[in-house]
Amino acid sequence: MPEQRARTYHRNRVASTFSEEIGAMLEGELSDPRIAESYVTEVVLAPGGKSARVFVAVHGSEEEEESTLAGLMTARAYIRSQLRDRMGVRHVPELTFAIDRSKRMTGRMDELLGRMRKRDRKREEKTPKAGASAAEQVPAQAVADEIVAKPLVAKQPVAKLPVKPLPLEPKS
């Protein structure tokens, strides 16, 4: 099936326009006190254009995230009508909002990597030079066991893809 570049391009343009307009509304047009300081990270438009998921990052605690999400879900009819007026289109997709926690996860990963580097530096400082006595040296197996015992990232199951059997006889 051929790639429909024009449709994909149009969908991406519409999604970026939604992102800009909803972001502008979040900056000051929505007067709901439940909505904390936040910004739009991504808008994912469904292939048919009937619905869109708006990912929002909130500066604050999890309670503020929940209250912001509740406020946005309450204000989505107003947001749709404003988008319809501003963009001059007949149909605005049904909006659903979701909290984007990717920035927090990235910060946590950076923290874990920093800890790992700090631990490695300490190990290098403790590891004696080649001329040190055997009693002062740390066995390499103990270091390897410690690394294996403390994984940094939890292992996630790998998705199994369906396997299509190959034909036994070649086609002529």
What is the CATH number for 43? 3.30.300.20
E strands, 24-93, in order = 38-45, 51-58
Band of pLDDT at residue 137, cut at 50, 70 and 90: low
* Within-domain flag for 41: yes
Nearest CA-CA partner of 101 in 150, 68, 145, 125 = 68
Which range marks the domain in which residue 18 is found?
5-102
Q: Is the pLDDT of residue 133 over 80?
A: no
Q: Is the pLDDT of residue 85 over 80?
A: yes
Domain count, the chain: 1
* Within-domain flag for 164: no
Q: pTM value?
A: 0.60
* Within-domain flag for 81: yes
pLDDT digits (tens, 9 = 90+) for 50-64: 999 999 998 888 898
The CB-side HSE value for 122 (13 A sphere, CA atoms) comes to 7
